[in-house]
Homo-oligomer: A and B are copies of this chain.
């Protein structure tokens, strides 16, 4: 028996499940923010790898004693940095089964259930999001990679010969000053060049200005460049601002440009009927990315790309070595035709578990409550004259600051995180240092926020003026 014996796996597995159940029952028993210093964990681990195997009990003890205290805990009700995300019970159980089966759905034949379940759940999700039937979905690890594939598709649509000939200079990508860094990074990787990424200016609510977009496209055409793709964002990382997608779609149609919508975080607002209008026009995109691992209670990683014209991406990437040809090729989807990565783990299973366990109504109810909590925070902050809300709050993120210097706000966040009781990250908006209070973890309650707001106010009061 070269692997762990089955009875040992059973005993240890029950222990692991009990630890997880205890964690999920009371995550607040764990500090959300580690106070670990750079190099501290490294110094506590052996510099040389193990020669003989070690008992699994010891390994699990080290997980509890060394790793958890050294980690800032993302799946925690007091985690408000970046975006606040959730890994739910059904998603965790699914990951254990995914790892056990260890399927690779690169082609239909390699494990038919992997491909077909992905098709089914992505069609379900399309319906939840209210997108037209023509959208074809596929899964990647991260929104960054979904966007890279969208850019690849856009480029292939503009110039199919690039697959063969390579690098044709002068293609331009348009996005806003607050677009996610993955747009620019993807353009750099694919050879668009950083100088051919136009970051269009914003209106007072941090939304892409369509008039400036049109001017930029016009100027680039005059200069002999080739406008290729516009990336709009519905739910920017900085402020969750929502670009005017319908107006941008008009421009893209007129100019024959690919429209990619980054709804990685914001897409699931479409689950709440009274917020669906925030995404008006999204159905006119050529591609859309949205991340179940951001706001659909699915463990990392799980990002979805919906494509209206899947043939462009297939044209850019499909390459079928002999050993991957199958008798079923003409009847099935082989997802490898649409991905740089050949291997594909069975992510569809976790999304299936999550969508079924929660159902549409419960997801919408949780989202509605989280969006309401963000409004509650906004009111609390606005009611305290020492503080200000730094940007509109269309979704689940509140950017706020002390009405004081940037240094004071930096001190405030440092002291808050040093308590271990809360985790915030920062940003700079219009030159002002702000704290990000992201709502999205499934365990976060109004009671958490009350406690945190008390902590923020007392910490602020203790700062030297």
Contacts and interface: CB of A to CB of B under 8 A. Distances in A.
Q: Which 6 A-B pairs have the closest CB atoms?
A: A166-B193, A4-B89, A167-B167, A191-B191, A13-B17, A49-B124
A63 B6 contact: no
Contacts of A316: 188-189
A22 B49 CA distance: 31
Contacts of A20: 9, 13, 96-97, 100
Which of A81, A103, A328 gathers most chain B CB within 10 Å? A103
A99 B17 CA distance: 12
A341 interface: yes
B144 A42 contact: no
Given A21-B13, A96-B92, A195-B166, A144 B59 contact: no
A3 B86 contact: yes
Interface stretch (A177-185, A207-215, A276-284, A379-387): A177-185
B114 A71 contact: yes
A167 to B, nearest CB: 3
Count identical subunits in the complex.
2
A464 to B, nearest CB: 19
Given A50-B356, A190-B191, A323 B144 contact: no
A355 interface: yes
A345 B301 contact: yes
Contact of A17 (B10, B111, B195, B317): B10
A150 B352 CA distance: 34
A13 to B, nearest CB: 3
A411 interface: no
A72 interface: yes
A177 B361 CA distance: 53
Grouping DSSP codes into helix (H, G, I), strand (E, B) and loop, the A interface class, with mixed when no group exceeds half, is helix
A188 B120 CA distance: 30
A428 B322 contact: yes
Contacts of A342: 142-144, 180-182, 185
Contact of A144 (B49, B144, B341): B341
A85 to B, nearest CB: 6
A203 to B, nearest CB: 20
A48 B128 CA distance: 9
In the complex, which range does the number of interface residues on chain A fall in?
35 or more
A360 B67 contact: no
A24 interface: yes
B54 A12 contact: no
Given A75-B102, A112-B71, A88 B4 contact: yes
5 contacts: A2-B369, A51-B359, A166-B195, A181-B324, A190-B190
Given A166-B193, A357-B53, A72 B143 contact: no
Interface string A89-105: 11111011111111110
Interface in A265-314: 293, 297, 299-301
Given A143-B343, A182-B342, A101 B114 contact: no
A259 interface: no
A362 to B, nearest CB: 5
Contacts of A299: 98-100, 102, 345
Given A82-B323, A128-B49, A301-B343, A4 B41 contact: no
Interface string A111-126: 1111011011001110
Contacts of A186: 340
A73 B97 CA distance: 12
A21 to B, nearest CB: 4
